[in-house]
Each structure stands twice: as C-alpha cells, then as structure tokens.
Amino acid sequence: MKDNYFEEIQNYYLKLKKTSLNISPKETEIIQNWYKNNIPVQLIKKLIKQELTKYSPQRRKRFNLFIVDKKLKELKKSKPKVLKASPVPQPQSEPIVEQSLNDWFNFYKKNNISLEIFKKIKDLSYDEKVLALEKFAVAYLWKKMPEERKKEIYSKVLRKAKIEFNKPDKDLIKKLIKIQIKKQYNFPE
C-alpha cells in the first residue's frame, strides 16, 4: 500500500507540474512522513492542486512538495480533525471516489478498452483500483498504438532522457513513455 500511496502522489504531482522529472529525495521523505502520519491521499492531491494553481506555468518548475507540507502543517494547527483520517481510501459511497471511478469508466468506454478489469478490481482499495486502471490502460493503449506512433514517442522520450538525465535507462524510458501516453489520451486524475 505504501508504494501505491507514494506512486499516486508522485504521478499526480508530476502531471500537474507538467514535468517528467522525478521528485527529489527530500520530497520522497515528505511523502513518507505523510504516509506515516496517515494523511489522506485525496487531501494531499487537493492541496497540491490548490497550491500549484497559485503559480504561473513559467514558475511551476519552482514549485515543490515543501510548499504542500507547509500548508499541511498550517492546516494541522487550524483544523486538526481534517488530518485525522486514514490513508486508506474513502468508502466508495463518497462522491469524490464515485466520480473518479466514473471518470475512469467513461475513459475506458471512450477509448474502447475492455471493462472486464472493473470486475477484477472490485475488492481492491480505491488507490489500488486507480493504479490498476491506469496501468492496464497504458499497457492496452501502447499495445494498440500504430508502430509508427510508438517509434515517434520512443525517439522523443529517448532524446528527452539523454538531454535531461544523461544516462537513459530502461525504467526511465518506460516512465517517460507512460507519461507521454497519459498526456496523449488525457487520462483522468
């Protein structure tokens, strides 16, 4: 569950920040502290979005999770009950969860992806469902993508990896391809 918690926050943060760079070790530590303190993923995502919108697109590279952590500490002082929730996802009856899963359902229908996975993930936690839906959709869309488009994405990602990271490795390439697919198909948040 810890990896899912981390990955969901990281993916959301990088998507909104519009960067393919990984987060810093200090930001990783912040996420680990949130997990240890049972800070709900949905609250963190809400704060990331809220704080990031205060930055112009040109200044977003300066935005980091320290800002969100500071906001969480302020919230803790002013509204301690808000942070008492568990990192375990909200029950499916809550509107935000239902809406998110509806968004995924509609995304799958729009892109002609098999809906069978919804049956397979019904017993998973909310966070695990979202990660499974995302992973399956990325794999499916990549598989169905024309070879020419795959080559375009691969060469674009490889160039970017060489420029930004000097040593592109297999895992980095996969992450960057995943980000490109998510952008191209406008994945739900």
**In which band, very low, low, confident or very high, does the pLDDT at 80 lie, cut at 50, 70 and 90?**
low
Instruction: Please state the rounded mean pLDDT for residues 104-119.
Output: 89
How sure is the predictor about 86, in pLDDT bands with cuts at 50, 70 and 90? very low
User: Residue 161: CB partners within 8 Å, gap ≥ 6?
Assistant: 168, 172, 173, 176
Quote the pTM value. Answer: 0.51
Of the listed ranges 44-48, 94-98, 153-157, 183-187, the one predicted with least confidence: 94-98
Task: Give the C-alpha separation, 134 to 156, whole Å.
Answer: 22
The one-letter amino acid code at 83 reads: L
| pLDDT surpasses 60 at 94 | no
Whether pLDDT at 89 is above 60: no
Residue type, 119: K
Q: Residue 38, CB half-sphere, CA atoms under 13 Å: how many?
A: 9
Q: How far is CA 162 from CA 138, 149, 173, in A?
A: 23, 20, 10
Burial (CB < 10 A; 0-12, 13-18, 19+), residue 36, is exposed
pLDDT score for 88: 41
Q: What is the mean pLDDT of residues 150-162?
A: 87
Most confident of 28-37, 61-70, 142-151: 142-151
Q: Which has more pLDDT, 135 or 22?
A: 135
State the pLDDT confidence band at 99, using cuts at 50, 70 and 90. Answer: low
Chain centroid, CA 154 distance in Å: 21
Q: What is the pLDDT of residue 97?
A: 57
Q: Specify the higher pLDDT residue, 112 or 189.
A: 112
Reduce the DSSP state of residue 127 to 3 states and report it: helix
Confidence of residue 85 (pLDDT cuts 50, 70, 90): very low
**Lowest-confidence pick of 25-39, 81-95, 102-116:** 81-95
- Cβ contacts of residue 61 below 8 Å, gap of 6+? 17, 19
Mean pLDDT of 33-62: 82
Cβ neighbours of residue 185 closer than 8 Å, sequence gap 6 or more: 107, 111, 137, 141
Report residue 125 as tokens: 């936690």
Euclidean distance between CA atoms 154 and 147, whole angstroms: 10
